[in-house]
Amino acid sequence: MESILDINSSNIWTLDEFQLATLWEHTKAQENFASSEEKLLNTIRLAFEVVHYNAKDPREVKKYEDGKWALVTHCKAGKGNIALRKKVIRRLSDLSYENIKHISAATLLELIDRNFGGGWDSISLATKDIIESAFDVSTTQLPASRIHAKGGTLESKVAQGYDVLEIAKGTWVEAIFAKKKELLEKVRFNMEKTDSEDGEREDDEEEELPEETATEEEDDEINENDDTFYSSFAPEAEIKDEEEEGFNVEDDSSL
């Protein structure tokens, strides 16, 4: 990312506060940056704590200039300096469709474990939907004496790359398996087109008509030159009598 102007609700989670501050200061010198400042801060707030503080107040300076916050200067001096710090995802309720893509399976299972130990069924449908947008999740419940059986479900899932969380439920254990989904790029196929002489766009290769397909002009030409019996026969032609055809009726005395 080359400019702070390139941030959006998705990629903002890929930055830390100090990377963000560096981009801010590099882009701040650009013309019209001030007009984009508030919009940028609203996007930054999705993933960061944003605090305006007074650099002349010793107490605020001590609080925010301790090295744990990244500092940037506001274009409007009256609004003071800005301190930035990445938000920490502490609860399942902190998850969103954007930040879920940027945590590990181990972190996810830690959040589930903190959810009062209720297991997968205790999670709301809305939160499950967010989780399953980025992770493959499955569960199983087995007696505690069988959960670690050789060749069992737990061993098989771990071999497939799943992280596992075990939650004790009396003499049984619920095992929650999670593995991050692979992000697939959408491939778009675009036919390359060239400009024709009249300025219209057309495909590189013209569509060929089937050989047996003929145009109307070709049909007319074929009909005119066709010497077959059926095409040359004209029902409306004048019918000639036998004398005109070379037959002499009187001379036929054999009849």
Taking only the tens place, the pLDDT of each residue in 185-214 is 444 555 554 455 555 555 544 444 445 444
Looking up tokens 């301190």 gives: 83
pLDDT reading at 92 higher than 60: yes
Pairwise CA distance, residues 76 & 186, whole Å: 42
Higher pLDDT, 233 or 24: 24
Q: For residue 87, what pLDDT is reported? A: 92
pTM: 0.63
Taking alpha carbons only, the member of 88, 83, 115, 110 closest to residue 99 is 88
Please give the structure tokens belonging to residue 247: 């037959």
Q: For residue 78, what pLDDT is reported? A: 72
- The confidence band for 240, taking pLDDT boundaries of 50, 70 and 90, is very low
Residue 73, φ and ψ in degrees, nearest 5: -100, 135
Tell which phi-psi region holds residue 131, choosing left (phi > 0), alpha (psi between -120 and 50) or beta.
Answer: alpha
236 contacts: CB under 8 Å, gap ≥ 6: none
pLDDT reading at 243 higher than 50: no
Residue 63, φ and ψ in degrees, nearest 5: -75, -45
pLDDT reading at 140 higher than 70: yes
Pairwise CA distance, residues 67 & 18, whole Å: 10
Pairwise CA distance, residues 153 & 142, whole Å: 10
- The confidence band for 246, taking pLDDT boundaries of 50, 70 and 90, is very low
Q: For residue 10, what pLDDT is reported? A: 84
Q: For residue 253, what pLDDT is reported? A: 43
CB under 8 Å, gap of 24 or more: what pairs does 15-24 form? 15/47, 16/70, 16/86, 17/48, 17/69, 17/70, 17/84, 17/85, 17/86, 18/70, 20/44, 20/48, 20/70, 20/84, 21/70, 21/71, 21/72, 21/84, 24/72
Q: For residue 184, what pLDDT is reported? A: 61
Taking alpha carbons only, the member of 89, 84, 64, 73 closest to residue 17 is 84
Q: What percent of the chain has pLDDT over 90?
A: 51
Higher pLDDT, 172 or 254: 172
- In eight-state DSSP terms, residue 178 is E
Pairwise CA distance, residues 233 & 220, whole Å: 17
Q: For residue 36, what pLDDT is reported? A: 86
Q: For residue 242, what pLDDT is reported? A: 44
Higher pLDDT, 98 or 164: 164
Please give the structure tokens belonging to residue 39: 């919009």
The domain ranges of the chain are 4-86, 92-180
Compute the mean pLDDT over every residue in the chain, rounded to the nearest whole number: 79
The letter for the amino acid at 214 is A
Sign of the alpha-carbon dihedral angle for 131, 133, 134, 138: positive
Per the CB < 8 A criterion, the answer to whether 96 and 12 are in contact is no
pLDDT reading at 139 higher than 50: yes
Q: For residue 190, what pLDDT is reported? A: 54
- Residues 119-136 have a mean pLDDT of 95
Q: For residue 33, what pLDDT is reported? A: 84
Q: For residue 198, what pLDDT is reported? A: 52
pLDDT digits (tens, 9 = 90+) for 147-187: 999 989 999 999 999 999 999 999 999 999 999 998 664 44
Q: Which region among 15-29, 38-52, 211-225 has the lowest average model confidence (pLDDT)? A: 211-225
